[in-house]
Amino acid sequence: MAERGDPSALRWLIGVELHNYRKRAGHTLAAAARALGCSAGLVSHFEKGLYFPQPEQIAGLLSFYGAPTWDVERLSSLSGRAEQRTWLAPWNDIIPDWLKTFVGLEGLASHEVIYAPLVLPALVQTEGYSIGATAGSARVRPDQVERAVSLRMERQRRLFNDTPPLRLTAIIEESVLDRPIGNVDTMRRQLRHLVELVERDTVEILVLPTAVGRHDSLEGMFTVLQFAQAQSIGYIEYPDGAIYVQDQDQVAAYTRTAESLRSAALSQRESVDAINARLASLT
Residues 6+ positions from 154 with CB-CB distance below 8 Å: 87, 91
Cα distances (Å, whole numbers) of residue 28 to 19, 24, 25, 42, 49: 10, 11, 9, 13, 18
pLDDT value for 2: 44
Mean pLDDT of the chain: 90
Q: Return d(Cα 145, Cα 211) in angstroms, integer.
A: 35
Q: Does domain 7-79 have CATH number 3.50.50.60?
A: no
Is the predicted pLDDT of residue 1 greater than 60, yes or no? no
* Closest by CA position to 82, among listed 49, 33, 38, 48: 49
For residue range 15-35, what is the model confidence (pLDDT) as tens digits?
A: 999 999 999 999 999 999 999
Backbone angles phi, psi at 236, to 5 degrees: -130, 120
Can you tell me the mean pLDDT for 129-150?
A: 88
Under the banding of pLDDT at 50, 70 and 90, the label for residue 261 is very high
Hey, where are the domains in the chain? Answer: 7-79, 96-126+155-282
Q: Return d(Cα 3, Cα 50) in angstroms, integer.
A: 22
Is the predicted pLDDT of residue 84 greater than 60, yes or no? yes
Architecture (CATH level 2) of domain 96-126+155-282 = 2-Layer Sandwich (3.30)
pLDDT value for 170: 98
96-126+155-282 shares the fold of 7-79: no
Q: Are 21 and 62 in contact (CB under 8 A)?
A: yes
182 torsion bin: left (phi>0), alpha (psi -120 to 50), beta (else)? left
Can you tell me the mean pLDDT for 265-281?
A: 96
Can you tell me the mean pLDDT for 56-63?
A: 93
For residue range 122-136, what is the model confidence (pLDDT) as tens digits?
A: 999 999 999 999 987
Under the banding of pLDDT at 50, 70 and 90, the label for residue 82 is low
Residue percentage of the chain with pLDDT more than 90 = 68
pLDDT value for 81: 64
